[in-house]
Chain A
């Protein structure tokens, strides 16, 4: 197994600020916009973006939730093992809101497909956008593309993109891991 560093902490910091600015440009005061991190790994990115928006750009409140998609996945009974759920926590109504899905890596697009179904249980959003840190090009199974993207990566199927956050792995970094 070998791994190659794609992004270091400094580069990630710059990208996060850029993504936050792009969100600000479109959603200005975030009164009608909510962030939804996709479990399990999108929540770290969602929390970071929320923090930047509130601390560095002075927004009083950016509503942020966690959405688990386990019960909406299309591979139930197909993986040979039980799919374990994570916590969903959405303490606000998404009816008529602009929802921004946040996930670390966009790969096949199937998670986002599941998330699009899952969010409907909480109301009918006005609009849904997608923000990702890493977009693995050419590996999509569904017609899903990010609206805000950190970095495009060309990786072949048996390679894995590993995203670490200070919150779960002591450092911000992105690696391309070869099996």
Chain B
């Protein structure tokens, strides 16, 4: 297959396995590009991309911006804090105003689940979801799988456990979809209060014991506890959370096998993983960040190819 089956990247659940394959293949080429002395290609020089961030982000936003610049796109940035959203403008009005300035593609992060889907239905531009509430974060899941593939050779048949705050995590949901589509087995692990009810229906197993989960897995994807999304108390204290679900060097050494540690960032050092784990050879956290740029270049390039020449 040489073309994406979708016109927007709204979530992993809308993709096919072949789409992921094509994105990875394209990302391989861009990974080579970003390691050249001059890390830029002119493909998208007549494309304008708006980055709309209605929610805070450092890594994702920088990564998208770099990816766009390395493809030579023109970009405009927008963050909710400094915009008319504060003055009461609706999402569609905001975006249509931006689009009337001839923007071809929108990368959007929004606190409400479904915001990207909604936008794709109402505006005439390619939409990339950079995270919508606790729903999906497709580019993160793609770069996670790509990093697993790079480290372990393939994703198929690998056992991946996602540890932590599953309830508030869009990364978890997108990862579950992406990993299963590629034939990996997925477990989630965390305190019962932070695991959504009925998650088993997605075909994932729930394990509340961290040690058992780590003994089972090839890869552990450690998520951050999203305090900012918590409207009530889900566990007694951070200290108690760390005692039960924090990974430290001692736990890893006792496993009797090597596992890969991933983290989508930002890390709360000493909470979900200790510094010695985050900085160890087990961790591929910084590889994930580098792969993020290549994956986003691939997604943007493939979607932009579907924009008709005016």
Contacts and interface: CB of A to CB of B under 8 A. Distances in A.
Interface of A: 68, 70-72, 76-78, 81-88, 117, 120-123
Contact of A77 (B3, B26, B32, B308): B308
A71 B36 contact: no
Contact of A88 (B25, B32, B308): B32
Nearest to B71: A71
Interface of B: 2-4, 25-26, 28-29, 32-33, 36-44, 71, 301-302, 304-309
A122 B309 contact: no
Given A72-B41, A117-B42, A81 B2 contact: yes
Given A120-B38, A121-B37, A121-B40, A68 B307 contact: no
B29 A76 contact: no
Given A68-B29, A77-B309, A87-B32, A82 B3 contact: yes
16 contacts: A68-B29, A71-B29, A71-B43, A72-B41, A72-B43, A76-B305, A77-B307, A77-B309, A81-B3, A82-B3, A82-B4, A84-B2, A121-B33, A121-B36, A121-B39, A122-B36
Contacts of A83: 305
Given A76-B43, A77-B305, A71 B3 contact: no
Nearest to B301: A71
Contacts of B307: 77
A68 B38 CA distance: 15
A123 B37 contact: yes
Given A121-B36, A121-B40, A82 B29 contact: no
Given A77-B307, A123-B37, 14 more contacts: A70-B29, A71-B33, A76-B305, A77-B308, A78-B309, A81-B2, A82-B302, A83-B305, A84-B26, A86-B29, A88-B32, A88-B33, A121-B40, A122-B38
Nearest to A71: B41
A87 B28 CA distance: 9
Q: Is the interface of B mostly helix, strand, loop or mixed?
A: loop
Contacts of B308: 77
Contacts of B37: 121-123
A116 to B, nearest CB: 12
Given A77-B308, A88-B29, A82 B2 contact: yes
A76 B71 CA distance: 12
Contacts of A123: 37
A37 to B, nearest CB: 16
A115 to B, nearest CB: 13
A81 to B, nearest CB: 6
Contacts of B39: 121
A121 B38 contact: yes
Nearest to B302: A82
B29 A87 contact: yes
Contacts of B304: 76-77
A12 to B, nearest CB: 31
Contacts of B42: 71-72, 117
Contact of B29 (A72, A85, A120, A121): A85
A121 B2 CA distance: 26
A88 B307 CA distance: 26
Nearest to A83: B305
A88 B150 CA distance: 18
Contacts of A78: 309
A82 B40 CA distance: 19
Contacts of A77: 304-305, 307-309
B40 to A, nearest CB: 7
Nearest to B3: A82
Contacts of A86: 29
Nearest to A74: B42
Nearest to A68: B29
